[in-house]
Amino acid sequence: MKKNYRKSAQPSEKKADAASELIRLNRYIANAGVCSRREADKLIESGQIKINGKVVTELGTKVKRSDKVKYQGKILNPEKLVYILLNKPKDFITTTDDPQERKTVMQLVVNAAEERIYPVGRLDRNTTGLLLLTNDGELAERLTHPSYGVQKLYQVDINKPITDEDFAKIEDGVVLDDGSAPVDEIGLVGPERTSLGVSLHIGRNRIVRRIFEHLGYEVVRLDRVMYAGLTKKDIPRGKWRYLSKTEIVKIKHMGQKK
């Protein structure tokens, strides 16, 4: 994996350079797909563009990529939007870079896009499975917000057979230190009673592991097999693919409030 890692610049340096790059506002708006540069000038002059919450009407204004530019209440993105679905392996952390130089998911998608993409939500280091990466900040915010109820399905392998009593407790919703942990569905995978499928929409930190640990079970393997209607079909562990146009439309529709 290391032989594919780019040596030219550290991730933190790249982000700093990208953030400090100045772009003419009309180009920024045009790159976001709103309209042409000439039409963008008209939007600016008529007071329809905000930068960091303030209306800007001066032509020739320049902005940084880190600025928040809004048109009709929506944040604009001056880059081509990219949507990548990764089948995360174990021992990779879900961050864009790591001071301790541990392996991150960004090393698995290093050549996937010229745009700066980042993970939507998190999977802990020992959890495998589906992870979406994108530069669509608006969608990422919606998919990770609890009020949108995005569905996730996990396969959970535990260290001993689950009892009928504990199965029923999870089905009813166990109460953890930070509140109730309701699941949408739970089912057995195979006759041994050590492998289960758990579907839920809550997204609190380590929630699936904590549900089973609360009842005295050790989770020996945790794999996210479905996320917002997307599955791992045809994506081997450690590999990725772009979302199709149909999938993008579908996931954006899913990212709407319930």
Per-residue pLDDT of the chain (258 residues; tens, 9 = 90+): 333 433 444 444 444 444 457 889 998 888 787 888 889 999 999 999 999 999 999 999 999 888 999 999 888 877 778 999 999 999 999 998 888 889 999 999 999 998 889 999 999 999 999 999 998 887 888 898 877 789 999 999 999 999 999 999 999 999 999 999 999 999 999 899 999 999 999 988 899 999 999 999 999 999 999 999 999 999 999 999 999 999 998 998 765 555
225 and 153 Cβ atoms separated by less than 8 Å: yes
pLDDT at 255: 52
Q: Where are the domains of the chain?
A: 18-75, 83-146+231-254, 151-227
Per CATH, the number for 18-75 is 3.10.290.10
19 and 65 Cβ atoms separated by less than 8 Å: yes
- For domain 83-146+231-254, the CATH class is alpha beta
Q: Which of these, 236, 254, 249, lies nearest to 88 by C-alpha position?
A: 236
pLDDT at 123: 94
Residue 164 is inside which H or E element, if any? helix 164-172
65 and 18 Cβ atoms separated by less than 8 Å: yes
Burial of 205 (0-12, 13-18, 19+ CB in 10 A): exposed
Residue 96 CA to residue 126 CA, distance in Å, equals 17
Q: Which homologous superfamily does the CATH classification assign to the domain defined by 151-227?
A: Pseudouridine synthase (3.30.2350.10)
Q: Which residues pair with 174 in a beta bridge?
A: 181
63 and 16 Cβ atoms separated by less than 8 Å: no
pLDDT at 19: 47
| Residues noted as catalytic | 124
20 and 14 Cβ atoms separated by less than 8 Å: no
pLDDT at 84: 97
